[in-house]
Every structure is written in structure tokens, then in C-alpha cells.
Amino acid sequence: MALDLDTEAAMNEGVCVTGAGGFIGSWLVNLLLSKDYSVHGTVRNPQDTKNAALYELPKASQNLKLFKADVLDYHSLGPAIAGCHGVFHVASPIPSSTIKDPQATLNNTLATFHT
């Protein structure tokens, strides 16, 4: 479902960005903050120094709140999503184990692109 961000509700209620500490997520958080949105961002660990740049974004002190969440754990996302008008899901889980056959995985991925 598309999210209409040009509504007063979206700005007042705010939005959630999963994966706020990632490359795409951090750019999206910056864009939303620049447009005066209240943003709930999910990260693996809000106190991790890699998230310091998020706290330094313009308007972050007033409009950004980071939540500890695991995108593979539905219940951990609840507090971040609560009260938000919509969610931008840009997080990607990191596998907890190594890939046993990386060549097969690569071939599968390439085949997907070529179909």
C-alpha cells in the first residue's frame, strides 16, 4: 500500500524507518527530518557509535527517536511502529550463519536477475 506523505497526519503522527542506520535508511531519515517529519528509526543498537551520525542530523534532536529492533522479531518492532502513520521498511536482516555454498547462492541470484 502506498503511503501518502503529503498529509498533515503523516507529519504529525510521524513515520517509522526500519534499518535507519543503514545506507538507504539513513538517507531516508535525513530527507524526512528535512521535511519536518517525526521519525521513529529502528536500529540493532541505538547506543552503537555507528548511529551517532543519525543523532547529529539537522532536526534529529527534536524529531528522531531510535528504537532497538530486530526485523526478524515482530514483537521488537511494535514500540517503533506504534503511533506512526506509516512505515518505510528498508532494513535487511543479516544472516547469523555463513553461506555453505557461496557459488550456488551467487548463481541463484544471477539467474533471478536474468529472468
Query: Tens digits of per-residue pLDDT, 22-46?
Result: 999 999 999 999 999 999 999 999 9
Return phi, psi of residue 26, to 5°.
Answer: -65, -35
Q: What domains, with CATH codes, occur in the chain?
A: 8-113 (3.40.50.720)
Query: Tens digits of per-residue pLDDT, 89-110?
Result: 999 877 667 777 888 877 877 8
pTM of the model: 0.77
Residues 6+ apart with CB under 8 A from 35: 5, 11
Burial 5-20, CB ≥16 within 10 A → b, else e: eeeeebbeebbbbbbb
